[in-house]
Amino acid sequence: MKRIFLHTLTIRVWHWVNAFIVILLAITSLQLRVPDIALFGAYKSGVLIHKYAGYAMAASFMFWLGYSLLSGNVRYNYVFRQKDLAGVFPQARFYLLGIFKGEANPFVPAAKAKFNGLQKIAYMSTMFVFTPLIIMTGIVLSDIFYFRPLIYSIFWGPRMVDAIHVAVVYVFLIYMLIHMYMAIFLGTRLSHVKAMIFGYEEEPVPENPEKA
């Protein structure tokens, strides 16, 4: 096994803070949709917690975006390049079949190449499409009277805003389940989880390593 440094302290702290915010939003959204489940006492309390957790998520995203742009994190790890295309199908086969046969992961991460092509597609979609969309619709829904002109000029009414917000919530839930499954079961001895705590990930050394 070899240790590869992947995640800076800033990214690790941000990851766990953001994870807490997302989980809090998911739990409070359950109370908002099913008021009989009084997880946070009165319904109003659930609304307030959800509202301010949403503001915290917006701040968290802006911090991540600023840091990632300035540090090169986006450029190195998120931009989909031509070489990533060649690895999409082998990686998809590994996720669908190879992982259950005990095959080695065809992609080995590096400090400035953390994600394979499929991961880049998933993370780019999450961070640059779904996250801004859920934040924007959430802020609009936090005060529909104040944002009334925006709601009707862009979203065709509050029902459409709510439908988009809820649809993206389901996308996030699916993403979270897949993300947690792969983080826990895809690595060796929880290596992915440990990497997001300590920064280093343990990767098996191939029997016949080839120079890149």
Residue 210 falls inside a structural domain: no
pLDDT computed for residue 144 by the predictor: 80
- Which residue type occupies 139? I
Kindly report the number of other CB atoms within 10 A of residue 44's CB atom: 9
Q: Give a yes or no: residue 99 inside a domain.
A: yes
Count of the separate structural domains present in the chain: 1
Looking up residue 76, the CATH number of its domain turns out to be: 1.20.950.20
- Find the domain containing 41 and state its range: 2-203
pLDDT on residue 211: 44
Per-residue model confidence (pLDDT) at position 135:
93
For 169, the token pair is: 């919530």
pTM for the structure as a whole: 0.83
pLDDT value, residue 47? 87
Domain membership flag for residue 12:
yes
Nearest to 53 by CA among 32, 92, 22: 22
Residue whose tokens read 């390593």: 209
Residues 6+ apart with CB under 8 A from 205: 1, 2
Residue 192 is predicted with a pLDDT of 83
In this structure, are residues 79 and 67 in contact, taking their beta carbons and an 8 Å threshold?
no
Does 209 map to a domain? no
Q: Which two tokens stand for residue 143?
A: 């005060």
Mean pLDDT by groups of 10 residues along the chain of 212 residues: 84 95 90 78 85 94 96 91 89 88 83 88 94 92 79 78 90 89 76 86 60 42
Which 3 state secondary structure label does DSSP give 93?
helix
In the DSSP assignment, the letter for residue 104 is P
In a domain, 21, yes or no: yes
**Residue 191's pLDDT is what?**
79
Asked, for residue 26, whether it belongs to a domain, the answer is: yes
- Domain assignment of residue 54, yes or no: yes
Q: Does 211 fall in a domain?
A: no
- For position 203, what pLDDT does the model report? 67
